[in-house]
A and B are shown apart, each in its own frame.
Chain A
């Protein structure tokens, strides 16, 4: 049996948001994350939930945000770019490990 690491584990939506941010890399911000989740999971994503989840993850130190460039498709407004921290990546890994451990051998 694999032992999980000491890193924090994530709630389901936190996990999805963090993974989306990792995938989108430099393009990761609230709108693109919501769109990515929506596209891949097929579920309706409330952007309000994305904001609060990003805030919570930032408070936990699992990601950092920084203001990006102003863009014309955003009416000249900047975006807040999201970057997962090492702890964030570790948390994703730990959560995934836990899920794999729990689902191993279970017919789903």
Chain B
């Protein structure tokens, strides 16, 4: 029974033994294995031989790894070397700093969105206690009765608190109404959070009694912005949804518990009348007692759940309780979480790529010190000693880069979150645990990246420089060879060029789709149209809401400088989901591939005044009229895209359509009922995405009583000052009904720009990465070219001396980098197409996109110019004499 062949191969490979030495080792392996088989059998012998092989291979292999020897003199020398080559130091440390900054900031962003932590004293102890209905597979929020029992029965949890979020209007003395999010919470919430008020007091149990006067605790930001930081504000009265409420305290700006709230009111519960699984829906929070684990809390809740089920079998049989972290991850989809987490890996790879690039620079510089290294070796310096010196230089560079990188990361974090809130999140606040401070884990991650960079930038060139020094000594004295760039460096440069070409290309593709949205015109000046969303508060009846909306509409229309006011559930160029319809069998265009005999359309419910408001004349038939208003829509107006895409260009008037699917927001759509088309208008930007081929639009009469999402949009053409019009609209809403919610007051142009803003945010981020990648690629190429020229000085001198044309000399030098550039560009194009597919972007063959490749190519060539000029400047006599 011979020893496994792979064991011999492993031994040979890892021990790095060659020739007779390797034969002896393999012979020993064979002999020992055969003896073992005879004693213990084949299976055990194979197992033991495997372990022994690994043991021997690693021990013998390790022996050959030189031990680093670093002293303080190396650091002193390192500083001097860095000062001696300022450009290299600047480029190298800037590259690493940029990479570390991107790595640490991205890690912080990803951590905030995936693994948020509660920024309160001992915040990790705070948990969300939840009931889950196993039968219905959904959480159960009507848990007031359970809250009261848990509060008295639990031994693992303490400071149980409860609350819910409410949308309210805040009316100040200035007559302007502002929609606000109010957290109705129990007084225990503040004790649980362990955060003291800045002024005044927090809520008390007495505030929650039915007879207590209404009170409110506000956040510091509101106090500063709306109360002008007035120190005498305590006890002042504000109108919260029409109820005069006294302000009793101010909480710090950093406290927005449970997530984005800046106004807190008492949660009023009549404990005597609470029924199991009935009443309002609430969240329950608690602190785990010191030393208690989530598992122990869950175990106790399971017992309590069983007791509840026994006490209330009719309602609690399928309910189970559990505890969860109180912070909510912004991204919950497992696939998206995995994708986001894997971004860390991609970024770490980028840092490695950058490190490789800096290693290239270090190596190129080290090559100029080859003779020094050879001499030092000859004088007895060990390989470990030489490597130690390189590592010291890399460490100094990395430490400088880490400090700068982490400072940049902090700025990026601040800028990124502020910009994200303003640009991509429509100005809405993020949960208060999303703070623009670089968390300690990110700092540790950044330091880790710096250490990895040290190893790559120090050890890679050092190993290369110090390997086979004695043979190189022979070669160089014989007048040939010397150091050369190997395959690893080539791969590095090609990868760099590929990545450099990819980022701008992707940014360009994303930006192109944004431009298409920006450039989209609907024939009217969208920046002159003021829009707002009017929402129904839960305490409003539908009739009250309808009456309030009509009053706002009348008052707004009566304001001077306002014309063409209209109501609609979706306005032009805004996001609009699609519906599936069928048309009568009178001839139609090709149907969507996904649906047989059906079409995707977008639907908007509009007032008759909607069309005049946007200067839309009937192309065929008529527009909607007041008489068309009915409980159920019977007629519709369609747009030109509908005629083209759905009807194949045929006459639309008199044709009928019916909806297959129910509403996805906006108007409740009558299903399976024929609706007659009475008119055709020009395309008015149905939906926000101009590239969506499903832009066919249907306009139905607006019925305020049939809205499914309890909100309608108002639009008006403003002739005068937009600020005056905005205030007039807010005042009209406050006057109509204090409970009416008004939000998103902005121009139609700003409203539609929100989608574009998100894209611009991504493009800006991609642009920054592109610029960084470009700088890195240039520095890498510059290093290679400089190195090539410095190594080939003698050859260039001879070529020039022999009368070789300059163009040929340049070509000889540029051949290798040109090949690398070409390969990099090709891989970059492939990477772009692949990533575009992954990101679901359409790659169009626009001139701009095609231009990205040559532009990158040309810019990279620039990096070759200086070394090429230096090559041509070589004096043949001097070059030959120098050797």
Interface residues of A (CB under 8 A from B): 29-31, 34-35, 46-49, 51-52, 67, 70-71, 73-75, 77-80
* Contact A67 to B20, CB < 8 A, known contacts A35-B35, A77-B27: yes
Specify which chain A residues have a CB less than 8 angstroms from the CB of B56 in the assembled complex. Answer: 47-48, 51
* Contact A30 to B28, CB < 8 A, known contacts A51-B60, A52-B63, A73-B34: yes
CB distance from B26 to the nearest CB of A (A): 6
Is the Cβ of A46 less than 8 Å from the Cβ of B55? yes
Specify which chain B residues have a CB less than 8 angstroms from the CB of A74 in the assembled complex. Answer: 27-28, 30-31
CB distance from A83 to the nearest CB of B (A): 15
* Contact A78 to B30, CB < 8 A, known contacts A48-B55, A51-B59, A52-B63: no
Is the Cβ of A77 less than 8 Å from the Cβ of B52? no
Q: Name B13-63 residues within 8 Å CB distance of A.
A: 20, 23-24, 26-28, 30-32, 34-35, 52, 55-56, 58-60, 63
Chain A CB within 10 Å, residue with most, of B20, B31, B63: B31
User: What's the Cα separation between A45 and B97 when bound, in Å?
Assistant: 50
CB distance from B139 to the nearest CB of A (A): 58
Specify which chain B residues have a CB less than 8 angstroms from the CB of A31 in the assembled complex. Answer: 28, 31-32, 35
User: What's the Cα separation between A83 and B422 when bound, in Å?
Assistant: 81
User: What's the Cα separation between A65 and B764 when bound, in Å?
Assistant: 68
Specify which chain B residues have a CB less than 8 angstroms from the CB of A73 in the assembled complex. Answer: 30-31, 34
User: What's the Cα separation between A43 and B276 when bound, in Å?
Assistant: 71
Is the Cβ of B20 less than 8 Å from the Cβ of A48? no
How many A-B pairs with Cβ below 8 Å?
A: 59
* Contact A75 to B24, CB < 8 A, known contacts A31-B31, A35-B35, A47-B52: no
B2 at the interface (CB under 8 A from A): yes
Residue of A nearest to B26 (CB): A77
CB distance from B8 to the nearest CB of A (A): 9
User: What's the Cα separation between A79 and B20 when bound, in Å?
Assistant: 9
CB distance from A54 to the nearest CB of B (A): 11
Specify which chain A residues have a CB less than 8 angstroms from the CB of B52 in the assembled complex. Answer: 46-48
Is the Cβ of B34 less than 8 Å from the Cβ of A80? no
Interface flags for B58-89 (1: CB within 8 Å of A; 0: not) read 11100100000000000000000000000000
Is the Cβ of A79 less than 8 Å from the Cβ of B24? yes
CB distance from A106 to the nearest CB of B (A): 36
User: What's the Cα separation between A29 and B28 when bound, in Å?
Assistant: 9
Q: Name B175-228 residues within 8 Å CB distance of A.
A: none
Q: Closest 3 interchain pairs by CB?
A: A77-B27, A74-B27, A48-B59
Specify which chain A residues have a CB less than 8 angstroms from the CB of B31 in the assembled complex. Answer: 31, 71, 73-74, 79
User: What's the Cα separation between A6 and B60 when bound, in Å?
Assistant: 32
Is the Cβ of B28 less than 8 Å from the Cβ of A47? yes
CB distance from B51 to the nearest CB of A (A): 10
User: What's the Cα separation between A35 and B28 when bound, in Å?
Assistant: 12
Specify which chain B residues have a CB less than 8 angstroms from the CB of A46 in the assembled complex. Answer: 52, 55
Interface flags for B822-854 (1: CB within 8 Å of A; 0: not) read 000000000000000000000000000000000
Specify which chain B residues have a CB less than 8 angstroms from the CB of A70 in the assembled complex. Answer: 27
User: What's the Cα separation between A74 and B27 when bound, in Å?
Assistant: 5
24 A-B pairs with CB atoms under 8 Å apart are A29-B28, A30-B28, A31-B28, A34-B32, A46-B52, A46-B55, A47-B56, A48-B56, A48-B60, A51-B59, A67-B20, A70-B27, A71-B31, A73-B31, A74-B30, A75-B2, A75-B3, A77-B24, A77-B27, A77-B30, A78-B23, A79-B24, A79-B31, A80-B24
Contact of B26 among A29, A35, A51, A75 (CB under 8 A): A75
CB distance from B17 to the nearest CB of A (A): 10
User: What's the Cα separation between A48 and B32 when bound, in Å?
Assistant: 12
Specify which chain B residues have a CB less than 8 angstroms from the CB of A52 in the assembled complex. Answer: 59-60, 63
Residue of B nearest to A70 (CB): B27
Residue of B nearest to A74 (CB): B27
Specify which chain B residues have a CB less than 8 angstroms from the CB of A47 in the assembled complex. Answer: 28, 32, 52, 55-56
CB distance from A52 to the nearest CB of B (A): 6
CB distance from B60 to the nearest CB of A (A): 6
Specify which chain A residues have a CB less than 8 angstroms from the CB of B23 in the assembled complex. Answer: 77-78
Specify which chain A residues have a CB less than 8 angstroms from the CB of B60 in the assembled complex. Answer: 48, 51-52
Specify which chain A residues have a CB less than 8 angstroms from the CB of B27 in the assembled complex. Answer: 70-71, 74-75, 77-79
Chain A CB within 10 Å, residue with most, of B3, B56, B63: B56
User: What's the Cα separation between A47 and B34 when bound, in Å?
Assistant: 15
Is the Cβ of B35 less than 8 Å from the Cβ of A78? no
CB distance from A22 to the nearest CB of B (A): 20
Specify which chain A residues have a CB less than 8 angstroms from the CB of B32 in the assembled complex. Answer: 31, 34, 47
User: What's the Cα separation between A49 and B30 when bound, in Å?
Assistant: 18
Is the Cβ of B24 less than 8 Å from the Cβ of A67? yes
User: What's the Cα separation between A30 and B60 when bound, in Å?
Assistant: 14
Specify which chain A residues have a CB less than 8 angstroms from the CB of B20 in the assembled complex. Answer: 67, 78
User: What's the Cα separation between A77 and B24 when bound, in Å?
Assistant: 6
CB distance from A93 to the nearest CB of B (A): 29
User: What's the Cα separation between A29 and B30 when bound, in Å?
Assistant: 14
Name 18 extra pairs, CB < 8 A, besides A71-B27, A78-B20: A30-B28, A35-B35, A46-B52, A46-B55, A47-B52, A48-B55, A51-B59, A52-B63, A70-B27, A71-B31, A73-B34, A74-B31, A75-B3, A75-B26, A75-B27, A78-B23, A78-B27, A79-B31
